[in-house]
Amino acid sequence: MYTVKFYKGEYLERQSAANTDKAVAYVEHHFNSAGPTANYALVVVGSNASQTSVNWGSWYAKAVAEQFGTQVYRPDGVARGGLDGRGDGNVKHTTMPAVLLEPLFVSNPQQAEIVRSAAGQAALARILAESIRRFFPQGGLIAFSVGHKYKTGRPNDRGAALAGGGAEADYAEKVLQQAAALLTEAQRETQARKLRVMQGDRLLFETPVDEDAVVVWSSDRQLLYIPD
């Protein structure tokens, strides 16, 4: 079972608060920016990162690259300690596995279009949620941080401009919000009681039923029913 909390303020404050809350995983979402032809997924982990952070980041970067037909930052999609230390301070102060995501280049017009599109945001959210379920199957509190946005020192910072319009941080926030919904709604669905009709391993029919509903099989009527 997952709960998701968005952390705001300076990056160090966000990490400290997530530590206090005993989050099981920490995600800070950015997008990268360079030239119009830059074309790879990058995940920054702290200089003190655990192997879980490295594996999680690498899995995520490869999944994004496969989804959008791009590359990963060589060799495995992960920059340990960031590029020349940049981004290290955004994740190295957590006591739980932490990643800083830069899945696409918003300076690349094709990738900026993906970031602006509902389908692109949904795909990024799905990959992120799937990565969390895969690496933290036991559930728990997931800490989300929108890169650039909500810093007290620079409240107007929105990160890089997208080629063609828009700001990095606003789209990072949309992706995180969708990922949060996937993580929390999925569990509501799985928690809900369902009536399933199966043929072998194949699902023929599925419908939610009330938690306290009594389901009765009538051999006379050849009917499965819920009495009034």
Q: CA-to-CA distance for 110 and 73, rounded, in angstroms?
A: 18
Q: How far is the CB of 70 from another protein (least distance, A)?
A: 9
Q: How far is the CB of 59 from another protein (least distance, A)?
A: 19
**55 or 70, CB closer to another protein?**
70
**C-alpha distances out from residue 210 to 98, 117, 194, 214, 216, Å:** 39, 37, 8, 9, 14
Residues of this chain that interact with another protein (CB under 8 A) are 10-11, 30-40, 42, 44, 71, 73-74, 79, 82-90, 102, 105-107, 148, 153-154, 156-157, 159-161, 168
The string over 123-133, giving b where at least 16 C-beta atoms fall within 10 Å of a residue's C-beta and e elsewhere, is bbbbbbbbbbe
**151 or 174, CB closer to another protein?**
151
Tokens of 160: 């890089």
Tokens of 154: 């620079």
**16 or 184, CB closer to another protein?**
16
**137 or 165, CB closer to another protein?**
165
Phi then psi for 142, rounded to 5 degrees? -105, 125
Q: How far is the CB of 31 from another protein (least distance, A)?
A: 7
Location of structure tokens 């690498």: 58
**84 or 212, CB closer to another protein?**
84
Cβ atoms 12, 83 nearer than 8 A: no
For the chain, the straight-line distance linking the first and the last C-alpha, in angstroms and rounded, comes to 32
Q: How far is the CB of 114 from another protein (least distance, A)?
A: 16
Q: How far is the CB of 25 from another protein (least distance, A)?
A: 20
